């Protein structure tokens, strides 16, 4: 598969950091750090892809299951995190793969830069000393790029987005954006996937974020479908264009 630049990548407010891209096989990452670390990032991406690929090769259902699976003993930490995220979210383990890769690469880069942002297909691992703003891209919705999540300084977390109308991810819903903020990016990724599956119409946005809230271990959630947006949790939204519309 060839790498295709993603139009939403300039959606994180980080003018103080150096931005660069790396790609290997199907994985394309856009990264911000305090210095150019493309070589280190590429090595880390290769490591984590190899670990996941080996596990898929020896546990075929890991790559295809749409539901949680028992975690085998002795699997790599990144794979274990995917199993655990899937169990909590009620998804297959691969629903957490983009967040898991972003987190793995980001944690490796923290050895070289105390501030790192790794974006992998709309799923972000972020470690920052200063406040940042992450724009929410919501496809066909007129709310797309009008609202940003304010991320406080001094945090390390995941901000992951799933959609039934944007991108190539499998979704049985019609959410234009289902966004989850959590301390662990694989968990944020899996719950965002499951939350997006629960949004079949604008009327489902509120129940979807309420469902995510009940799972625990997340900081906040946003669901957007059409002109409707529902928000839950300890998160701050900031208008990027015009006023923030009323939320439920």
How many domains, in total, are found in the chain?
1
In this structure, is residue 99 part of a structural domain?
A: yes
In this structure, is residue 110 part of a structural domain?
A: yes
**CB 51 within 8 Å of CB 79:** yes
Token reading at 192: 């965002």
**CB 157 within 8 Å of CB 187:** no
- What's residue 182's pLDDT? 98
Q: What is the spatial distance between Cα 126 and Cα 162, in angstroms, rounded to a whole number?
A: 17
In this structure, is residue 136 part of a structural domain?
A: yes
In this structure, is residue 147 part of a structural domain?
A: yes
Low-confidence ranges of the chain (pLDDT < 50): 1-10, 168
Indicate which CATH number applies to the domain containing 110.
Answer: 3.10.520.10
Q: What is the spatial distance between Cα 142 and Cα 73, in angstroms, rounded to a whole number?
A: 47
Range of the domain at 34: 18-239
In this structure, is residue 6 part of a structural domain?
A: no
- What's residue 243's pLDDT? 63
Q: What is the spatial distance between Cα 92 and Cα 72, in angstroms, rounded to a whole number?
A: 15
In this structure, is residue 171 part of a structural domain?
A: yes
pLDDT in tens, 207-232: 999 999 999 899 999 999 999 999 99
Token reading at 23: 């790609």
In this structure, is residue 2 part of a structural domain?
A: no
Q: What is the spatial distance between Cα 30 and Cα 120, in angstroms, rounded to a whole number?
A: 7
pLDDT in tens, 114-154: 999 999 988 999 999 999 999 999 988 999 999 999 999 99
In this structure, is residue 13 part of a structural domain?
A: no
């Amino acid at each position: 598969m060839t790498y295709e630049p993603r139009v939403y990548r300039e959606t994180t407010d980080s003018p103080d950091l150096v931005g660069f891209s790396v790609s290997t096989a199907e994985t394309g990452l856009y990264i911000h750090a305090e210095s150019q670390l493309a070589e280190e990032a590429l090595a880390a991406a290769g490591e984590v892809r190899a670990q996941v690929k080996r596990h898929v090769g020896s546990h075929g259902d890991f790559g295809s299951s749409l539901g949680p699976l028992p975690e085998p003993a002795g699997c790599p930490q990144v794979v274990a995190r995917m199993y655990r995220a899937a169990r909590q979210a009620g998804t297959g383990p691969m629903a957490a793969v983009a967040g898991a890769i972003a987190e793995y690469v980001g944690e490796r880069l923290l050895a070289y830069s105390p501030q790192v942002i790794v974006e992998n297909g709309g799923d972000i691992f972020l470690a920052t000393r200063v406040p940042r703003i992450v724009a929410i891209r919501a496809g066909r919705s007129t709310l797309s790029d009008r609202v940003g999540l304010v991320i406080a300084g001094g945090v390390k977390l995941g901000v992951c987005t799933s959609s039934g109308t944007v991108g190539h991810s499998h979704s049985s819903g019609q959410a234009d954006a289902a966004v989850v903020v959590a301390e662990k990016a694989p968990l944020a990724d899996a719950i965002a996937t499951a939350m997006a599956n629960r949004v079949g119409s604008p009327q489902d946005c509120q129940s979807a974020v309420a469902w995510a809230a009940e799972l625990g271990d997340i900081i906040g959630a946003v669901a957007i479908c059409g002109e409707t947006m529902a928000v839950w949790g300890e998160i701050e939204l900031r208008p990027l264009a015009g006023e923030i519309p009323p939320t439920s």
